[in-house]
Structure 1
Amino acid sequence: MYFERFYDPDLAQASYLLGCQKTGESLVIDPVRDIGPYLNAAAAQGLNITHVTETHVHADYLSGSRELAAATGATLLLSGEGGPAWAYAFAHTGLHHGDTFMVGNLRIDVLHTPGHTPESVSFLLTDTPRGDQPVMLFTGDFVFVGDLGRPDLLDEAAGGVETRFVGAHQMYASLRDVFLTLPDFVQVWPGHGAGSACGKALGAVPATTVGYERALSWWAPLVQAGHEQAFTDELLSGQPDAPLYYGRMKHQNRDGPALLGTVSALPELDPATVLARVQAGARLIDTRPRAEYQQAAPTGSVNLPDGLTLETWAGWLLDPAREYVLLARDGQAEALRRRLWMVGIDSVVGWIESPAGLGTRAVPPLPVTALPEHPGALLLDVRRQTEYQAGHLPDARHLHAGRLPWALDSLPHEREIIVYCQGGARSAAAASLLRAEGFQVSELAGGYDAWAVAR
């Protein structure tokens, strides 16, 4: 058997390639939209991708399952357990609890494990040449290392009404009736790691086992003792803010992400063309470091630095219906474009390397010591709700950065807005969006941390 894990550190997302080396068949679980790594890995091992599947209708990234199946001719196998609301709307073979399919000599048993979402399934792998005992369980957003998938996501981002309580009940039952019935030695490979907003305390190591979670997780004693209400209370408390783009992703993944197919190379544009594009409604994504952007911010640009948060912040702040131009280092534009695909930002029309000729101005952050000079400003806290509750500037309004584009109409154009986060990174990106939208905005240098030290 061949096994390979692929991991996107920005989205804290894991996908998997499983191959039968005897027959040359392979399966990909939970692929992202940039399918090149799977094609390359399979080819390097002499495998053909014959099956593609996913554990549930994803919300935090745009799925590559449809793309990969279309590119390879693989059988697309998707959950049929979601009911009318979460039934996949494009061609596929439905999977139900108790189904089994073979990938060469690898047997995959389908387990319906609702809780995070109604349609969630897990895949139990048996390497039949080695024996009849299961080896691995691919849980998606059901069981993480040290945590569980949040059941409130449909309420928070996809228009659900009080579905969290149904989800918590389903999660409890899935753990009791499915997960805890498996042998302790079964390896557990989840769909996310530390940093994902699909849970609240995910572990940083890539995998766990059924036995380890049975012995040391916070939830196992509650489930084994039959304390469902205590389990529900703990599961639903303290969940992180769900960015509102999750709702868009969830519906796009259910209805069928647009196929990218063969994509032409991204053209380099001259300043005049970029300005014309921006004048016509396109937006410039400035991927330079924050300090460089603050020294020379192009008019109408959003600062999303080329780093570990690019995809997440793009999902938070960018409208997929708009055209975009990348301001990026030579040789980086194509890779950045592919990362934007992860959150459905497909309309990138070109790139430029330098801000020269684009009409720039300095936008230095506001020192904490200068706050008294801005008595009429609106203080806007764009951190997570839990951060805000732990301490915030007096009279500050809380609005998580992942909800900012949906709340622009609630913000004053006639009043200065001072944006802050914990240390200054998130607020810089959020402030750049507000600036591009025509608000009078500054960002607080050093964020809440700097204010807490100075007060």
Structure 2
Amino acid sequence: MLLERIYDEDLSHASYFIGCQATGDAIVIDPSRDISAYQELAKTNGMRIAHVTETHIHADFLSGTRELGNATGATVHLSGEGGEDWQYGYENERLTDGDIITVGNLELQVVHTPGHTPEHLSFLLTDTVTADEPGFMFTGDFVFVGDLGRPDLLDEAAGGVDTRYVGAAQLYRSLKEKLLPLPDYVQILPAHGAGSACGKALGSVPTTTVGYERTFSWWGRHLAAADEQGFVDELLEGQPDAPAYFGRMKRQNREGPTLLGTRPALPELDLDTVRAGLEKSALTFVDTRDQHGVHTGTVKDAINIPAWNKPAVHAGWVLDPESDHRPLVLLADGPDTAHHLRSHLIRVGIDNVEGFVTGFEGLPTFVPDMVAPQDLESIDYALLLDVRNKSEFAQGTIPGAKQLSAGRVLWHQDLLPETGTIISFCQSGVRNSVASSALRRAGHRVVELEGSYLGWQAALQQQADLQKQTALVK
């Protein structure tokens, strides 16, 4: 048996390539929409991707199940559980609890594990050549390392009303009836790791076991004590902000993501052509540098999406391809960076990259407004905006600040002042630069706090040290 974990650091997403080396057949579970890694694995190992499946209708990324099935001719298997409201809108073979997918000498048993979502499935894998019992469970967003899939996403991102309580109760039963009866040695292979917004405290190690989670996890203690209410309360408390684009991912994944097929190389565009497009407001310019580069000067109304720092996540926060169909032009240091960014943008359904430029000489430019922490009190502003997550905000913020996370701010402009200056900050400046660029493009006057919250804390400490030194001298 061949088992490969393909991990996307950008989206904290794990997918799995599982192959039978005797027959050459393989299956992919929870694939990304950039399918090149799976095709390369199949080619390298002389295998054929015969099956593709996913654990549930994902919210945090656009699924590659349909794309990979179309490219390889593989059979697409999708959940038939959860009721009619949770059925996929494109052709597939429906799976229900207890079904078996046979991949050469491997068997994957379908286990309905609702809670995170009503249709959620897990897969128990048995290598029939060496064992007659399963040794692995692919749990999707059911069980993570040290945590569980959150049951409130349908409320937070998909328009649900109080579905979190039903989901939490379902999750308790799924754990009790489907996971805990398994032997301790069964390995758990989840769909996400640390950094994912699909849970609140995901571990950074790739796998765990049923026995370890039963013994040491927070939820294992509640189940051991038959404390369902305590379980529900702890599960729902302190969940992170859900980015607004999660709702779009849910809809598109259910309906069926647009097929990409073979994509041509991105062209390097002529600056005169780009200038003409910007003058007509017919293009969206994306600056792919980090915030330090952007703060030295950028193209007017450019969106900042750092190419090498979670570009898919940041793009999902500030670009909405459903309402803005203008093609994207990337500022990149060359074709490799441009193609890297495009491969990440498609993972959140942003497909309209027209090309790239390597400079912006002659284009309309501006330098983002900044304010030093020590000058904050001297600025007249309408709102001091903390774009960190609510959990970070709860641990401490600048006095007078209001919280609205970077992943939600563009979709909740009704909560922002219609006039006046907004001073914004995050923890170190990365998220703030992304969110601020989008708010400026939307017409707001935004001034970024130099160094963001860490810079403010450092300035506060410096002031305290200076006062202490002055007192000692006296």
Q: TM-score under structure 1 normalisation?
A: 0.98
* Structure 1 segments unaligned to the other structure (5+ residues): none
Counting aligned pairs with the same residue, the percent is: 54
Residue aligning to 1:157: 157
Between 210-219 and 433-442, the greater mean CA deviation after superposition: 433-442
Q: Distance in 2 between matches of 1:256 and 1:121?
A: 18
Give the deviation of 1:298 after TM superposition. 0.5
Residue aligning to 2:361: 356
Q: Distance in 1 between matches of 2:82 and 2:300?
A: 45
Quick one: which amino acid aligns to residue 416 of structure 2? L
1:13-32 correspondence runs (5 A): 13-32=13-32
Q: Distance in 2 between matches of 1:217 and 1:391?
A: 27
Q: How many residues of Structure 1 are paired with residues of Structure 2 in the alignment?
A: 455
Contact 2:290 2:430 in 1 (8 A): no
SS in 1 for 2:384: strand
Give the deviation of 1:454 after TM superposition. 2.9
Give the deviation of 1:292 after TM superposition. 1.3
Q: Distance in 2 between matches of 1:365 and 1:281?
A: 28
Q: Distance in 1 between matches of 2:400 and 2:156?
A: 25
Contact 2:381 2:423 in 1 (8 A): no
SS in 1 for 2:58: coil
Residue aligning to 1:426: 431
Deviation digits for residues 180-213 of structure 1 (CA, Å, limit 9, x no counterpart): 0111111110000000000011000000111111
Contact 2:291 2:429 in 1 (8 A): no
SS in 2 for 1:342: helix
Q: Does 1:325 align with 2:329?
A: yes
Give the deviation of 1:48 after TM superposition. 0.2
SS in 2 for 1:273: helix
Quick one: which amino acid aligns to residue 315 of structure 1? G
SS in 2 for 1:178: helix
Quick one: which amino acid aligns to residue 432 of structure 2? S
Q: Distance in 2 between matches of 1:336 and 1:109?
A: 37
SS in 2 for 1:28: strand
Give the deviation of 1:364 after TM superposition. 4.9
Residue aligning to 1:399: 404
Residue aligning to 2:372: 367
Residue aligning to 1:316: 317
Residue aligning to 1:293: 294
Q: Distance in 1 between matches of 2:67 and 2:221?
A: 41
Residue aligning to 2:190: 190
Decide which of 444, 452, 465 is 1:447's aligned counterpart. Answer: 452
Contact 1:9 1:308 in 2 (8 A): no
Q: Does 1:219 align with 2:223?
A: no
Q: Does 1:91 align with 2:91?
A: yes
Contact 1:295 1:364 in 2 (8 A): no
Q: CA RMSD in A?
A: 1.2
Q: Distance in 2 between matches of 1:272 and 1:413?
A: 35
SS in 1 for 2:28: strand
Contact 1:176 1:224 in 2 (8 A): no
Q: Distance in 1 between matches of 2:290 and 2:453?
A: 21
1:236-255 correspondence runs (5 A): 236-255=236-255
Q: Does 1:282 align with 2:283?
A: yes
Q: Distance in 2 between matches of 1:135 and 1:389?
A: 41
SS in 1 for 2:370: coil
Residue aligning to 1:340: 345
CA shift in 2, pair 1:413/1:358, >3 Å: farther
Deviation digits for residues 402-442 of structure 1 (CA, Å, limit 9, x no counterpart): 11121224433430111111222211111111122222111
Quick one: which amino acid aligns to residue 308 of structure 1? N
Contact 1:18 1:26 in 2 (8 A): yes
SS in 1 for 2:188: strand
1:266-277 correspondence runs (5 A): 266-277=266-277
Contact 2:275 2:363 in 1 (8 A): yes
Contact 2:28 2:51 in 1 (8 A): yes
Give the deviation of 1:393 after TM superposition. 2.1
Q: Distance in 2 between matches of 1:222 and 1:372?
A: 48
Q: TM-score under structure 2 normalisation?
A: 0.94
SS in 1 for 2:412: helix
Q: Distance in 1 between matches of 2:271 and 2:282?
A: 15
Give the deviation of 1:297 after TM superposition. 1.3
Contact 2:271 2:357 in 1 (8 A): yes
Deviation digits for residues 23-42 of structure 1 (CA, Å, limit 9, x no counterpart): 11100000000101100101
* Structure 2 segments unaligned to the other structure (5+ residues): 461-474
Contact 2:88 2:254 in 1 (8 A): yes
Deviation digits for residues 338-365 of structure 1 (CA, Å, limit 9, x no counterpart): 1100111111111111121222222252
SS in 1 for 2:348: coil
Give the deviation of 1:394 after TM superposition. 2.5
SS in 2 for 1:89: coil
Give the deviation of 1:305 after TM superposition. 1.1
Between 410-419 and 210-219, the greater mean CA deviation after superposition: 410-419
Between 434-443 and 152-161, the greater mean CA deviation after superposition: 434-443
Contact 2:19 2:103 in 1 (8 A): yes
SS in 1 for 2:165: helix
SS in 2 for 1:393: coil
Residue aligning to 2:441: 436
SS in 2 for 1:246: helix
